[in-house]
Structure 1
Amino acid sequence: MAKKFAVGADIVVIDIPVGRNTKIEDVQEGRKLARDFIEIGERLGMRVECALSYGESLVGHTIGPNLEVREALAVLEGATTPNSLIQKSLSISGIALEMAGKAAYGQGFDMAADLLRSGKALEKMRQIIEIQGGDPTIKAEDIRPGEHQFVVRAPHDGYVIELNNKALVTLARLAGSPYDHGAGLDIHAKKGTRVRKGDPIFTICADREWRLERTIEVGRTLMPVLVEGMVIERVPPERWV
């Protein structure tokens, strides 16, 4: 809130992810936090609304600076996936458009979708990049993840029944994110995905080899992904392929 106030924002939409393995585990707690944000906003002269969002699954397929920027820029360029990223972005943007009086109540999502489809959202992003001293002609394909990579594969046939967000974020940080821009995770199979033994589930990316090795070592104990099979558990745990 302090940062929003410092830059002179008068309309603020705050996303509050709710669910297991998030900071806010239930809707009631999320509503209480939302009321606190709204009250603080009133004291600071800012109009604040909050969106309680589903937080038990990752938004998009990536964690880490370069990976997330590449994914977001690809959507602005016209990519139709990942749907979770597109839907959440349009929903929150729609709330902001309604609060600003640009769209009637309940019509903000459609207006945001039109701005995305028309290319106006991409045009505005390029203007922002240029103002901040970046290259406004950059494309998603120009943004590269860390060169040191390790692919975590399904230990057997089945469905991905669990992706532990906290554990995945821990691995991304161990790999160097967000300070090493190329570090992070690229998720290939989200919750509910049918996989065969050996299929890639996620890739760890790092700018430094020693960070990748450390992340692999810790990941073998965290086991952030569960693939359903007939065997509930193996002791000791199965190692990554």
Structure 2
Amino acid sequence: MPFYLRAKKIDYTAGKESIIALNQKEAWHYGLRPGDKIALETNGNHFIAIINTTKTRINAGDVGIYSDLWDRYGLREGEIIEMHFLKRAESIEAIKKKLLGESLTEKDFNAVVNDIVTERIGPTEIAYFVASSFPYPYTDRELYYLTKAVASHGEQLHLRGTVVDKHSVGGVAGNRTTMIVVPIIACTGLIIPKTSSRAITSPAGTADTMEVLAPVSFTAEKIKKIVQKHKGCLVWGGGVNLAPADDKIIKVSYPLSFEPYEKMMVSIMAKKVASDVKYLVIDMPIGEFVKIPDMRTARMLAQRFVRLGKKFGIKVRVLITRAKEPVGRGVGPALEARDVLRVLQQTEHLPTDLEKKSLMLAGMLLELAGKAKKGKGVNMARTILTSGTAWRKMAAFIRAQGGNPKITPDDVILGPVKHYLEAQQTGKIVEVNNRTINDICRALGAPEEKLAGMYLNKRLGQRVQKGARLCTLYAATDTRMKLAVKTLEKQAVFTIARAPYIKKR
């Protein structure tokens, strides 16, 4: 049975949470405790909120609504709110099942994903769900059910033509190949509506980097118009409500800089299913300091990607590469955007490793989709790039998404506070720690602070003299720079050896 209370505005904001406040005695009367959830309904609005209680701030008969929630639903002082008790969510029972080692059904996964999307369960419950696959990895059937649930609980992009995509599993600093591959592929008439995530384990994701050049948040209808005209786009998947449960899961994973393999697969494949992709190339870097440590794990994941794709009618090919250092010179949204522009515009100082890897991925996708004969894809991609056709297509994307299509690498603004890391001895760079680079760039403020990051002046294998500049740090504030420098005192980015180097195990 519902009960009714008067709305009272509280001049506090709750951030990402939906929070209300009840009088402590009244909450006790209804059997409600802080942290419980309750459904509210008024004037056609229906939402779920977390309960706080107070002895004096809210009178009996009132319900205090935090100001951000108040404004979101256009509430009025004193209006009557209908309050509904919530039954125990089915998703909680499903999460408990998985934590105890039981397999979940399609119904279980639909319950969990639906409750994530409708906010019936919050960050704590989602965190348990994310953690549940660590002790008990998902079976192929469970992966299929979860991917299907995440894809179906959100908007769908139904596009005309052959839809293809390229995706990196992440974990490597820089590596902004997607922003080069997408315009190359779009030049061939294939449809490539690139919907990317924000960064999870690195200082920038594709969406973060593209946002330096143009807005990335659009409705599904706007994306369809851009793609219909230009054959592709580079947008944020969360902005279009494409697989919205995925973004909520990412927010839980981000503070730990960690993402379970199964959730990574679901995150990637659900967006491809929702975008109606038929051909997919996956970039899978491996190495000691990245997300996937070894070839054995990579091959296992590649096989699972292929099997999962087959269930949805998607042809998947995986490129496994060894990652011993960042791909490109820049790490962080602005610096990575500058690298991308240098490759697309074929300017001085372009990072050749980023160019080479982008051409490999583009070539593989062209062959997979039947646009190029076997062994001819890379040459086809190179011609599109070096002729300037790829840059013209990228400029069209930037213009369509509201950016400046005449931007050059020199136009990209970097953080005003700089710090140089210099070699403490003469020798050869024998190791570059990708994980430390990520930590430092996050300390600098990336990816939230677009101007922050690191530029690699020297690369793996180079000989350097004592005092040589190894890398340059950029930050928006002195405070951020101090945090990064402190991190540098505890962690090494470069290992320099005077004599032949044998790493200790």
Normalised to the residue count of structure 2, the TM-score between the two structures is 0.45
Matches within 5 A, 1:1-241: 1-79=269-347, 81-229=350-498
**Relative contact order (C-alpha < 8 Å, sep 6+): which is higher?**
1
Aligned length: 231
More divergent stretch after superposition (64-73 vs 30-39): 30-39
Deviations, residues 61-107 of structure 1 (Å, cap 9, x unaligned): 11100000101111111137322111100000001111121110111
Farther-moved stretch of structure 1 (200-209 vs 37-46): 37-46
Unaligned runs of 5+ in 2: 1-268
More off after superposition, 21-30 vs 117-126: 21-30
Q: How far 1:136 sits from its partner (Å)?
A: 1.1
Q: Which has the larger radius of gyration?
A: 2
Q: Deviations over 1:108-159 (max 9, x none)?
A: 0111111111111101111111121111111111002111110000011111
* AA aligned opposite 1:159: K
2:326 match: secondary structure:
coil
**What is the DSSP-based 3-state SS (H/G/I as helix, E as strand, rest coil) of the residue aligned with 1:170?**
helix
Gaps of 5+ in 1: 233-241
Aligned residue type for 2:271: K
Tell me the amino acid that sits aligned with residue 291 of structure 2.
K
Q: Which residue of 2 aligns with 1:239?
A: none
SS in 1 for 2:448: coil
Greater shift in the superposed pair: 113-122 or 41-50: 41-50
Runs of 4+ off more than 6 Å: none
Structure 1 residue 213: deviation in Å?
A: 0.6
Aligned to 1:238: none
CA RMSD after TM alignment: 1.4
Taking the aligned partners of 2:284 and 2:347, their CA distance within structure 1 comes to 26
1:47 is displaced (CA, Å) by: 1.7
Work out whether residues 286 and 295 of structure 2, in 8 Å CA contact, stay in contact via their aligned partners in 1.
yes
- Distance (whole Å) between structure 2 residues aligned to residue 8 and residue 138 of structure 1: 32
